[in-house]
Chain A
Amino acid sequence: MNSIWAIARNTIAQALRMKIAGVVIVLLLILLPMMSMIMIGDGTLLGKLQTFSSYGLSLVGILLCILTIAISTFTLSDEIKRRQIFLVVTKPVRRWQILAGKFLGIVIVDVVLLGLFSGLIFGLTLFMPRFVAAGPDEVIKADDEFFTARMGLKVSTDEEVLQERVKQRYEKLKEERRLPETMTQVEVLTELMREERLGEQSVEVGRVRKWTFKNVYPSSDPNTMIFIRYKLDTSNAVSDVTVYGLWAAGDLTAYEQGADALTTPIYNLQKDSATRAVQEFAIPVNAVNQDGTLEVGFMNNPNLNTMTVIVQDLEVLYKVGTFSGNFWRATLLIAIRLFFLAALGITLTTWLSFPVAVLGCLVIFSAGIVNGFIMESIDGLGAGIGILYTYTIKPFLLLLPQFDGIYNPTGYIVSGRIIQWLFLLKTAAITIGLKGLILFVFGIYIFYRREVAKSVV
């Protein structure tokens, strides 16, 4: 342990003397306070908070990732190049201890810098409402939608039911010999599925659609609010029209059946919404049934609308944690990336030179950032080609780290959504405990076999 610690300390000393470390530190110390002042977003306090935290965290994340890549690929390769490693490997130090010491050193640098800059963003965000002239409405909105950690639940469509319906429609078309001749079977099925999905979301003029959310367990505090978040669109291609709708929430089934005793109050809300923009409204917590179900209904007002309305991304949100807890979990999500990159960089330099290793790291890092996109495009390929890729490239892509989509911390902070501990631990276990460790063990294996003094006579 003593020698691992000695090597870690030496790595820290080495890292802090790298010019890139100084540049990153100075840049962030100047940029973050500046960004907090000049970023406005959509003009509201909420918009300002969302823009600053989003850009701030992304900037810290990306710069520290680059710094980690630079340090981790430099530290060992430079010692080998300058042959300082001769005086280390000839000491009673095992080679895995050298790599572990390097890793520990980089982790410490990362933790300190990430703590410093995340703390800076955290502080600036907390103080922002005091320095912005914002009305009480804006402050409440910011508290409800930003300074919070909310659970988000989406409508779960029953895929099996949809597939059954698609199958039936397909069989019917086949019987009636109405199948389009220019389309393959897969294409027809895909199109039918798309229509079915759209059907689940669309509300025709004068009709009512009801969605049921399960496992809604907000805190029982009667002052708690539940947020319904949605986006509206119309069947008509005209963009940006205002849709008038009537929303209802509560025990709607019992209400429809005309039951005498309702288990929850029914809340109604008349709301005009612009299309194609995320909207949100709040209802009190007692709209949720004891068994954790919440029904939300939308009526397409026939007196005001003439088009079918499509309700997209319907989501129920409610507060389950605090902003600060969530913010630091987001920071940990960034830390997971950094630790993985540290292991990757060190591993690559056990057999590659600095420039090659940096390139390799950057490629893998970029692949991690667009991992979800790559996966989707492979999944979206035609069936024949899709199978080929599923068994060749996809397994390798699964080995890559995932930094985008649900693994991107800024999305959670901007929408005030909770990062659950279980998710965080799972991500850490997979990214560091599995992928990082496999890499690191591989690096140790190579380093044990390597002749560090390979040179001419």
Chain B
Amino acid sequence: MAQSQFAIETISLTKIFPDWWGRPRVVAVDNLNLKIHSNEIYGFLGPNGSGKTTTIKMLLNLLHPTRGASIVLGGSSDQAAVSSRIGYLPEESYLYRYLTAYETLDFYGRLFGLPNSVRKARIDTLLEMVGLAGAGNRQVGTFSKGMARRIGLAQALINDPDLLILDEPTSGMDPMGTRQMKDLLVELGNRGKTILLCSHLLADVEDICDRIGIMYGGRMQVEGSVKELLEQTGKTYIQTSRVSDAVLSQVRSILEQEQCECDIVHPMDKLESFFVRTVNRAQQEMQTTSGAGMGSGISGFLAEKEIVRQPGILDKLVTSRAAEPVKTDEQETVAVKPEKEEPVQNRELLSQLMAAKPTASGRPETARPTEPAESAEAVKEDLLNQLMDRNKPIDGSTTPIDNPK
């Protein structure tokens, strides 16, 4: 199979859902030309109903395109050779409720045809990695959404995929899990995996992704590297350690001589506002979408209600609503903090798993996920090291990812 330079490439990919009579009804994806490079973390963004999930389903052959084609890892995802290199986490973890966590991973491991010893070793490692080692014998039906999500991620990783397609991986996860997930994705990216990440948590995407694309109404609105899109080239941001007012006024006067406007703080534009701006612009251009539009404050029956509302109740609701984003922020902060609070074991495991250890024969892209010779012992010791290093260039001098942060 000829290795294309793109891990995913779509050519005028179009999906139109017909109505009962077969007439075209909903244009879910419209002439999409997506190109995702190998070893790239790609953030696939867009409001609800913008065609992200439909695109992913077409990539995975769960839906057939109306027009156009997609090339995944140089082939089609219905070829066993291709699908054995893909890890997929759907928008919800569609797991068998009656299987235990262990049985679940065992089932998917068998579908990948992993030999017994390798499968067992990987399941143990993955269960520990996602923090469910203690719940391996519990039925998945008894899990919370976040726990199910972790199992979902574990099943996506069991075949050591070259390409990870993750649809809302952090939905329902607690902040710690989210943080872990982000760390893990960055690490996986560093180790040469290609990741297609669909998420509404823009801060996460901004942190992790190399490139992003924003969809609206089934069309790609904007695409580019996070740095390119978010950098404000008309302004200059000088970062210094604390300077005295005298120096500052000197700097200011110099800059004024150059007729530059000068502000002390130049905050970077946040992805969130950029995202909203993109969608707003699309809406102003009256582009069609089959999904939800952007809300424009309270309106309709809710607004009516507000007029007749009983004082107190809605106030409470409103305040709690307003408090929510703040809460998320707090959670985010908390999520960064727990480095010392988190169970030491977990943390260590993760770093152990991720520790870079270049392999002797690390020819990129040719390594296969399973090698029959792989012994259980070896896998157990540093499964992810192996998994992750395989695709890393031998010299290691160039990090494939140039993170803007």
Contacts and interface: CB of A to CB of B under 8 A. Distances in A.
A453 B56 CA distance: 11
A92 B17 contact: no
Contact of B17 (A83, A88, A456): A456
Contacts of B64: 451
Contacts of A89: 61-62
A88 B98 CA distance: 16
Given A13-B99, A86-B94, A457 B111 contact: no
Given A90-B83, A92-B80, A457-B290, A3 B49 contact: no
Interface stretch (B5-13, B84-92, B220-228, B381-389): B84-92
B363 interface: no
Contacts of A82: 94
B51 A457 contact: yes
Given A91-B108, A91-B111, A454 B26 contact: no
Nearest to A93: B111
Contact of B62 (A9, A10, A93, A453): A453
B200 to A, nearest CB: 16
How many interface residues does chain A have, given as a range? 20 to 34
Interface in A61-108: 82-94
Contacts of B86: 90
Nearest to A453: B62
Interface in A287-342: none
A455 to B, nearest CB: 9
Interface in B75-121: 77, 80-81, 83-84, 86, 88, 90, 92, 94-96, 98-99, 107-108, 110-113
A6 B111 contact: yes
Interface string B44-85: 000001010010010011111000000000000100110110
A10 B96 contact: yes
A94 B80 CA distance: 8
Interface in A184-225: none
B197 interface: no
Contact of B111 (A3, A86, A451, A454): A3
B291 interface: yes
A86 B83 CA distance: 13
A17 B61 CA distance: 30
A2 interface: yes
A177 B349 CA distance: 107
Contacts of B84: 91-92
The dominant DSSP class at the B interface is loop
B155 interface: yes
B117 to A, nearest CB: 14
Contacts of B98: 13-14, 17
B113 A453 contact: no
A283 interface: no
A91 B62 CA distance: 11
A449 to B, nearest CB: 8
A86 B291 contact: no
Contacts of A93: 80, 111
B26 A87 contact: no
Contact of A456 (B26, B61, B99, B155): B26
B196 interface: no
A5 interface: yes
A77 to B, nearest CB: 14
A454 B63 contact: yes
A416 B277 CA distance: 85
Contacts of A128: none
B28 interface: yes
A452 interface: yes
Nearest to A3: B111
Given A86-B90, A457-B26, 15 more contacts: A5-B110, A6-B111, A17-B98, A84-B96, A85-B94, A86-B62, A87-B90, A89-B61, A90-B62, A90-B77, A90-B88, A91-B83, A93-B111, A456-B26, A457-B51
Interface of B: 17, 26, 28, 49, 51, 54, 57, 60-64, 77, 80-81, 83-84, 86, 88, 90, 92, 94-96, 98-99, 107-108, 110-113, 155, 218, 290-291
Interface of A: 2-3, 5-7, 9-10, 13-14, 17, 82-94, 451-454, 456-457
24 contacts: A6-B110, A6-B111, A7-B111, A13-B99, A82-B94, A83-B92, A85-B94, A86-B90, A87-B94, A87-B155, A88-B111, A90-B60, A90-B61, A90-B86, A91-B84, A92-B80, A92-B84, A92-B112, A93-B111, A456-B17, A457-B51, A457-B218, A457-B290, A457-B291
